[in-house]
Structure 1
Amino acid sequence: MARRTANKSLQAKLVLLGDMGTGKTSLVLRFVKGQFSEYQESTIGAAFFTQVLSLNEATVKFDIWDTAGQERYHSLAPMYYRANSSLTMFLVANKADLEGDRKVSNEEGEEYARESGLSFLETSAKTAQNVNELFYEIAKRLVKANPSRQSGIKLHTRATESRRRYFCCA
């Protein structure tokens, strides 16, 4: 979900969902801080991060929710997102650096994503492979999906007698 602000920038809520141990936190830490830790503690509930990307067309500010992957937290995930027809969704296969220990082939991931109407990308938070590309691609798609129309409210003033009143128009 995204909304355009007055200065030609876009604010987007980005929610990372997935099972425990898939590397959601490692991906976001690599993107936001440029860091990788071999031993990352499990997220409890959710963690929040922000990051700004500058594209030629616009500036995108991501509000990133890194949700916990443990089964006991799965029921909390819908609190961080709403079903929306303008969602941009990616299936991300992290840990591409573990080629020999693959559970799913690249072809299987691409096929599943295609059948599910998702975009697909393989990444590695450890080596930084495709991490920035992932977030830039999401940002580009959000900008494309949200043309330059502005949303929100505009306040107009109308003088009446000696005092001003403010009226709100959508």
Structure 2
Amino acid sequence: MPHTPLKRQEDIGLSPYELKFRGRHRSQDVQMTVFEFDAEDVQETTIQSVEALQSYKDSKKLIWLNIDGLHNEKLMQELADHLHIPADILSDVMEPATRPQVEEFDNGLFVSIKMMQFNEGLHQVSIDNLSIVMMHNLLITFQEEKCNQFNPVKERLKKHTRRFRTL
């Protein structure tokens, strides 16, 4: 029988669209990495604030924003305001236990899936949530913690393979 988590005391009375992190609390900072690329060039930059995204706003290149860490509620609110992502979408992003789903919104698409990875040291499978928001020329990936699942994609993107960058 599936396990249904009980509501926590602090969640009672909150709007379902409240931007509140409902996962395991972390002490490390949220890490945001931007990949700006086209068929000819790739640039990888680590940014510290949502304001740093302003320089990419009018870019003709494709932008991939990878966010590792979901626990900074203030940062998520700034992201919602800056990129015009609906609160209900980011509310689902900040709930790692949410079920897989696909939802279309005004200017984009939201996909939430589960990633399974075998931990050889512990001999167990870990299940993590991956949330993806796709907009005009912007791809945003959200993960609860930093993992190496995207390393092969990042390495292939950095290599000069025109075909991969134009797909």
Q: Could you state the TM-score of these two structures normalised by the residue count of structure 1? A: 0.29
Q: Which protein is bigger by CA-based radius of gyration? A: 1
Q: Comparing both structures, which one devotes a greater share of its residues to helix?
A: 1
